[in-house]
Amino acid sequence: EKDILQPLTVPKDKLLGGLLPTGFDETSCLSRYESHLYSKSLQHKPSSYLISGLRRYEALHKQCGPYTELYNRTVNLIKSGEYSSDSSVCNYVVWISYSGLGNRILTLATAFLYALLTNRVLLVDPRANLHNLFCEPFPEVSWLLPPDFPIIDQFSSFNKKSPHSYGYMVRNNVTGNSRIPSFLYLHLCHDFDVQDKLFFCDTDQTILHKVPWLFVKSNNYYVPALFLIPSFEQELNNLFPEKGTVFHFLGRYLFHPTNSVWGLITRYYQAYLAQADEKIGIQIRVFSLGVSNFKYVLNQILACATKENLLPKVNLNEPVANSSGKTKTISVLMTSLSSRYFEEIRNMYWQNPTVTGEIVSVFQPSHEEHQQTEKLMHDRKALAEIYLLSLTDKLVTSGWSTFGYVAYSLGGLKPWILYKFQEGTVHNPPCFRATSLEPCYHSPPYYDCKKKTASNNTVSIAPHMRHCEDNSWGLKLF
């Protein structure tokens, strides 16, 4: 019997070890308190320091969130263009939507961690579909920036050349004078310049600390670089005694699918996954390869799955498996923009019996063909699939893909990661077992704040950090 059919007989902790706050209306966001019925119980426990930090944050959010008196007062600083060193205002970090869903989920969690570390309030770009995808994470007061926010129409034009960007100001010596701006834009995308990278230095953090509004755009999981800022180190160690669980906990705390997405998830789970003895997830993400590479990608997937004993071998010599008694059932959930890999693998298990008699069913919820970020139904499906992958027992993901990073980290699963599919490269081994639940930071700053020069010495000076197995330039916590 699966516990999902009898939730009451398996008392699990619906607040996830105290990670989630109580007091939300349950029906308006079913996933928040139902997720524990589907996912495995947390293997790691959130620290009591993290739990009290979250409760403190929630109180701050309630005090400073949209349309509170303090919010209105701080918005006026933007309108008047002036900064007063008035301590009765709140400080904010505004997350600007950018890039695909996996990237957005990672950068949003990172912005939240930055807010926790700097006593800022996190507000979210309302132009993204986010409110259709995720429930409000904080009790009582919304995390969405109100659409009447004064400079909202400038968000899409913010880039590293914007006069409001911190990097631009440093380049043009604007920060030297004593006037503190009421807002700044932080460009933390993969193409950032040396001056943008100063964000990751303590002296610059001291300057930023005085600015009430920070707007951040990124397409990267820059959490590892926050661990390299000395003034954050102690706090981060207290929040996360186990370094390899940062996104796992922040993700489980922040991201609760809305009821419409939860419907997609739970119906699919009940129909295709719940009854299986074993659930295997395979996420295929192919970045810019020609169609002619289809066979080669397929071979890499199958080589990984069989080498790591994730999928049973098929018997090409017998028409029927001779098994006695109850046979083990394996459900394979595949996700990809294309349906070809799935069709091929499904047919393989239809046309041949398995060597050891298991029954393998293979399925894929959608094949969207192209990325269509910010189309509502497309994003909903993407989120549902990420979430379904996180509910499997064993997971294979694709190197370099933030879609896969989010799935395994939310699920608390150490995945097998396929080396990035690359023109003309046959990877042997085809995949590797991840060392931690953490996503990879693809474009670290590699800047030495003391010497004020570029430096790639980061890994040797930082404990619990290493280069990513799927991206040797990247950094990840473990």
| Binding residues vs ligand GDP (CB under 6 A) | 99-103, 285, 335-337, 366, 368, 371, 373, 378, 381-382, 385, 401-403
Structure letter (DSSP) for residue 257: B
Three-class SS string for 281-306? EEECCCCCCCHHHHHHHHHHHHHHHH
Of 373 and 422, the one with the shorter C-beta distance to ligand GDP is 373
Of 165 and 401, the one with the shorter C-beta distance to ligand GDP is 401
Of 381 and 394, the one with the shorter C-beta distance to ligand GDP is 381
Using DSSP's 3-state secondary structure scheme, residue 441 falls into strand
E strand or H helix that includes residue 216: strand 213-217
Task: Supply the minimum distance, in Å, between the C-beta of residue 280 and ligand GDP.
Answer: 15
Of 125 and 368, the one with the shorter C-beta distance to ligand GDP is 368
- Beta bridge partners, 396, equal 282, 416
Of 92 and 408, the one with the shorter C-beta distance to ligand GDP is 408
Q: Exposure pattern of 389-419 as b/e (b: 16+ CB <10 Å)?
A: bbbbbbbbbbbbbbbbbbbbbbbbbbbbbbb
User: Virtual CA dihedral for 250, 30, 260, 97, nearest 10 degrees?
Assistant: -20
Task: Supply the minimum distance, in Å, between the C-beta of residue 305 and ligand GDP.
Answer: 17
Residues belonging to the chain? 478
Of 392 and 402, the one with the shorter C-beta distance to ligand GDP is 402
| C-beta of residue 133 within 8 angstroms of C-beta of residue 261 | yes
Query: How far apart are alpha carbons 339 and 353 in whole angstroms?
Result: 22
Reference 390, options 256, 240, 241; nearest CA is 256
> Nearest 5°: phi and psi at 334?
-110, 145
Task: Supply the minimum distance, in Å, between the C-beta of residue 100 and ligand GDP.
Answer: 2
Reference 185, options 148, 140, 210, 154; nearest CA is 154
Nearest residue to ligand GDP, using CB?
A: 100
Quickly list H helices, 9-148: 30-38, 48-64, 69-80, 101-118, 130-133
- Counting other chains too, the contacts that 418-426 makes at CB distance below 8 Å and 24 or more residues apart are 418/300, 418/301, 418/304, 419/300, 419/470, 420/287, 420/470, 420/471, 421/286, 421/287, 421/289, 421/293, 421/296, 421/297, 421/300, 422/289, 423/289, 423/290, 423/293, 426/296, 426/300
Task: Supply the minimum distance, in Å, between the C-beta of residue 394 and ligand GDP.
Answer: 17
Of 204 and 470, the one with the shorter C-beta distance to ligand GDP is 470
Task: Supply the minimum distance, in Å, between the C-beta of residue 142 and ligand GDP.
Answer: 24
User: Virtual CA dihedral for 143, 264, 408, 226, nearest 10 degrees?
Assistant: -10
Task: Supply the minimum distance, in Å, between the C-beta of residue 141 and ligand GDP.
Answer: 28
Task: Supply the minimum distance, in Å, between the C-beta of residue 277 and ligand GDP.
Answer: 25
Task: Supply the minimum distance, in Å, between the C-beta of residue 397 and ligand GDP.
Answer: 9
Structure letter (DSSP) for residue 364: -
Of 91 and 103, the one with the shorter C-beta distance to ligand GDP is 103
Task: Supply the minimum distance, in Å, between the C-beta of residue 449 and ligand GDP.
Answer: 29
Of 36 and 285, the one with the shorter C-beta distance to ligand GDP is 285
Task: Supply the minimum distance, in Å, between the C-beta of residue 376 and ligand GDP.
Answer: 11
Of 373 and 471, the one with the shorter C-beta distance to ligand GDP is 373
Task: Supply the minimum distance, in Å, between the C-beta of residue 189 and ligand GDP.
Answer: 13
| C-beta of residue 142 within 8 angstroms of C-beta of residue 66 | yes
* Largest distance between two CA atoms of the chain: 82
User: Virtual CA dihedral for 57, 146, 108, 105, nearest 10 degrees?
Assistant: 130
Of 16 and 273, the one with the shorter C-beta distance to ligand GDP is 273
